[in-house]
């Protein structure tokens, strides 16, 4: 097996970064048109049926569909995970682009305390939304 030179690795990485965006846009178009049909294939939440409370995953499908239609506030109301995850992935993609074009910039914090705060706030949201009618998916 032939090893890649550093120049070949860099070109391969740049091509990969640049291809992610068109592939994501094609996925967006597919889900935008057929997402409602796919949502009917998922079973009802077993956790919700057994406990009466919403699990952290409840509302994700509706949240993604609302995002695909550009309704960010409704998406946040259903579930914050797709918005938070989409934001993080978008920022990571932007970091990859800066690296691919030779001007690397760190956009996301690398401090673990920051991520623990983010995860703690999300966990708190998953608990609190069971008690406030506006946050119920």
The mean pLDDT value of the chain amounts to 82
Which residues does 46 contact at the CB level (< 8 Å), separation at least 6? none
Buried b (16+ CB within 10 A) or exposed e, 51-83: eeebebebbbbbbbbbbbeeeeeebbbbbbbbb
Is the pLDDT confidence value at 29 over 80?
no
**pLDDT tens-digit readout, 84-119:** 998 998 888 888 878 777 788 888 998 999 999 999
Q: Say what the pLDDT of residue 84 is.
A: 92
- Predicted model pTM: 0.70
pLDDT score for 39: 63
pLDDT at residue number 35: 62
């Amino acid at each position: 097996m032939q090893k890649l030179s550093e120049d070949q690795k860099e070109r391969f990485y740049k091509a990969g970064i640049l291809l992610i965006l068109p592939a994501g846009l094609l996925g967006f178009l597919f889900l935008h048109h057929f997402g409602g049909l796919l949502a009917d294939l998922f079973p009802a939440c077993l956790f919700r049926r057994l406990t009466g409370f919403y699990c952290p995953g409840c509302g994700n499908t509706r949240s993604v569909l609302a995002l695909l239609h550009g309704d960010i506030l409704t998406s946040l109301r259903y579930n914050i995970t797709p918005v938070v995850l989409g934001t993080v992935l978008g920022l990571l993609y932007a970091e990859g682009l800066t690296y691919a074009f030779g001007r690397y910039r760190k956009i996301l914090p690398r401090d673990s305390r920051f991520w623990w705060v983010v995860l703690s706030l999300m966990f708190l949201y998953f608990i609190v939304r069971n008690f406030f009618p506006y946050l119920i998916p």
